Amino acid sequence: MQTTFKNVYQLLDYYKEDSRCNELLELQRWGGKPKCPHCGYDKKIYRTNRGYRCTNKGCCKKFSVTTGTICESSHIPLRYWFAAIYLLTAHKKGISSHQLARDLGVTQKTAWFLNHRVREMLKENNPSLLTGTIEVDETYIGGKEKFKHGKDHVKRSATPTKTLITSGASKYITPDTKTPVFGILQRNGILRVQKVGNAKAKTLIPIMVANVKKDSTICSDEHTGYASLTKKGFKHETVNHKEKEYVRGIAHTQNLDGYWSLLKRQIIGIHHSISAKHLQRYCNESAYRYNSRTITDQERFFGVLKQSEKRLTYKALIAKEQ
């Protein structure tokens, strides 16, 4: 049964029994009617002592409410999962694994894995094409060079070949020393953020074609990577940031610039440092909170539970980046 709560204490107080946790996950996942995660059969499902059994002759497998979800095979109680989901989505800049470990009374390793599996739930399902007025921009994520060590450190060049204008970056450091992130924002709508290999046209244009409806108006800065947008069937408006032009008619990227500020403050203030390997999940987390900023923490929590049918194993999480 779904209840009303305003903070994590009320959440844990109501869902302190496994039976209630299972009922809630069943309600959010199946709408109260069990469905076999193996074959999709939902006509007649038997309830067993430990879960359910499919009656489809071609299947007949046993399953539980967590089978096929991000919680599958987890030894962590569901109420701990609920607390982690609530804390990660309700806190405006997220929560670190060290803080979550202290709050839940688990190890930092467990909290780190738990955090990343929750972030996996926050990926947008079945994204539709964005339309209307669209803002696009890129930024670069990475620490200052003076704080890096060994092979990660890039010495300052006396004759810089490229200027990078971004918060916290030295004007002598090129974008190659940081990880580029590309953002697409529909005004008064959905934000999508993607880690990219570079900010060249051959990388950015296909992403925009895949995410934005033709004939939409795309607003960008003077970056040459956007120069061929009109050839792809888009309307293109630009502002020249180098000339300190930030708004011209409907053309500006102010909303997206504001989001970059939120993302970087999350990284600097909460996590302090993140690897490029896991950067996309942090972007998914931040974008989800941005896209759900107009709803309550409770609505956001229930919405995440509906997206639980995803898997992320520890082996996959720590595997080397391809």
Domain range list for the chain: 133-293
Q: What pLDDT does residue 154 have?
A: 57
Q: What pLDDT does residue 172 have?
A: 41
Q: What pLDDT does residue 155 have?
A: 54
Residue 152, both tokens:
């990660």
List the chain residues with pLDDT less than 70: 1-2, 145-176, 322
Q: What pLDDT does residue 50 have?
A: 85
Q: What pLDDT does residue 165 have?
A: 40
Q: What pLDDT does residue 149 have?
A: 64
Q: Name the percent of the chain in helix, strand, coil, to the closest 5.
A: 40, 15, 45
Backbone CA torsion sign across 69, 72, 77, 81: negative
Q: What pLDDT does residue 160 have?
A: 38
Q: What pLDDT does residue 246 have?
A: 95
Domain 133-293, classified CATH 3.30.420.10, yes or no: yes
Q: pTM of this prediction?
A: 0.88
3-state secondary structure of 182: strand
Q: How large is the greatest C-alpha to C-alpha distance in the chain, in angstroms?
A: 73
User: pLDDT tens digits for 57-84?
Assistant: 999 999 999 999 999 999 999 999 999 9
